[in-house]
Chains A and B, each alone.
Chain A
Amino acid sequence: MATVDKPADVVIVGFGWTGAIMAIELAQAGLNVLALERGDDAATVPNWAYPKVVDEIAQSARNGLLQNLSKTTVTIRHSKNDRAAPYRQIGSFKPGTGVGGAGIHWSGVHSRVMPDELRLRSRVILLSG
């Protein structure tokens, strides 16, 4: 059954770096903003934990961080009289997927481990092996 949300002034499709910045600006201007995301939840850990996030074969050569086009894609044409061709492989247009991690698909980016986190880890290993 359809869920009816309260009306919004602005709907932002995709709450990544671009959408999120737009959203906060609009919200601060007093508008009621609704942001839409799709896909499974993802988080820095475990989804993009070092070192797998810097695996260039999986993430860059095979586009592991981007939308799997076998499931759904777009068709592209230059004008309405052209025949639209399916976008079959990831090219210059790089749609992401999932909720969280929009900035991560720039392969080679990974979150820095803070000194406290390293100290905590060393401490835990020291105490409990």
Chain B
Amino acid sequence: MNSNPSRRKFLTGAIALTPIGVVAAGSSAGAPGDLHDSVPAPAHPALADYRPTFFTPSEWAFINAACARLIPVDEHGPGAVEIGVPQYIDRQMGTPWADGAIWYMQGPFFDASPEFGYQSPLTPKQQYRLGIKAIDGLCQERLKKPFAQLTPAQQDDVLGQIEKGSLTSPDIPLRTFFSSFLLKNVVEGYFGDPMYGGNKDMAAWKMIGYPGVRADYLEWVGEAKPYPYGPVSIYGERG
């Protein structure tokens, strides 16, 4: 043998006017001296200070309104807006993924059956830009208001129709935008590590009892009772 050794209810009307300042400030750096020394402390600004860098004010209103309907605050836990999911999505727009840089994005582009996967030339940034424009356009045309200014019941109806494929746009496949980008990214931000801007104070993890990135559960193997400790984040914050 030769082997080379080298080897997740927010006031949707108001948010269009005040898309920021929705959650109290809070951030913390990694705990010094623990096992996280090799990772630099997170530099994300407190949520209250967050200004979107990719989304325009009207797009930001849409994102906040959509997040508030997709994961509303209820008796089980916080809403997507309250724990920073809009901020997560805006931050993701600044990553290589948002430009399609980790995908094969050269031609030929043609319709193929769903099992062949994503075949659109649109990057995530283009999906959001065109998707929000198309949905706001449809809402304006039918209900005389942009999405963010509709009632929660109207917003649920619009999102539900898009998800079922009964509300479509000639400009962009809205169902794909909804399922493969908007909803997916909302879930990521809600349940992802807080270093990415969502899941503030690991609130989503606490809700479901997820311990985060704790390293070792060996002494709990075989224990027929719930794990007793709260979550810990990648930067060592403890909840």
Residues in chain A within 8 A of chain B (CB atoms):
5, 8, 15, 23-24, 27, 32-35, 37, 41-43, 46, 49-52, 54-57, 61-63, 68-70, 73, 76, 83, 85-89, 91, 99-100, 110, 112-113, 125
Contact = CB atoms under 8 A, between A and B. Distances in A.
Interface of B: 1-4, 6-7, 33, 35-36, 38-39, 95, 97, 100-106, 108, 110, 112, 116-119, 188, 192-193, 196, 213, 215-216, 218, 234
A89 B101 CA distance: 10
11 contacts: A23-B1, A46-B38, A54-B213, A57-B196, A63-B102, A69-B103, A85-B116, A86-B119, A91-B117, A99-B6, A110-B215
Main secondary structure of the interface of A (DSSP, over half): loop
> Which 4 A-B residue pairings sit nearest by Cβ, starting from the closest?
A99-B7, A85-B112, A85-B116, A73-B104
B7 A89 contact: no
The residue in A33, A51, A68, A87 that gathers the most chain B C-beta atoms within 10 A of its C-beta is A51
A15 B3 contact: yes
B234 A55 contact: yes
B104 A70 contact: yes
The residue in B2, B39, B192, B215 that gathers the most chain A C-beta atoms within 10 A of its C-beta is B2
Contacts of A85: 110, 112, 116-117, 119
Nearest to B187: A61
A33 B2 contact: yes
Given A57-B192, A85-B112, A51 B102 contact: no
A57 B3 CA distance: 33
B118 A89 contact: yes
B129 to A, nearest CB: 19
A49 B38 CA distance: 9
B4 A37 contact: yes
Given A86-B104, A113-B215, A35 B38 contact: no
A76 to B, nearest CB: 6
Contacts of A62: 95, 97, 102
Given A41-B7, A50-B35, A110-B215, A88 B103 contact: yes
Nearest to B97: A62
Contacts of A5: 2
Given A8-B2, A56-B192, A112-B216, A87 B104 contact: yes
Given A73-B104, A99-B7, 15 more contacts: A5-B2, A23-B1, A34-B2, A62-B97, A62-B102, A70-B101, A70-B104, A76-B116, A85-B116, A86-B104, A86-B119, A87-B104, A100-B7, A110-B215, A125-B33
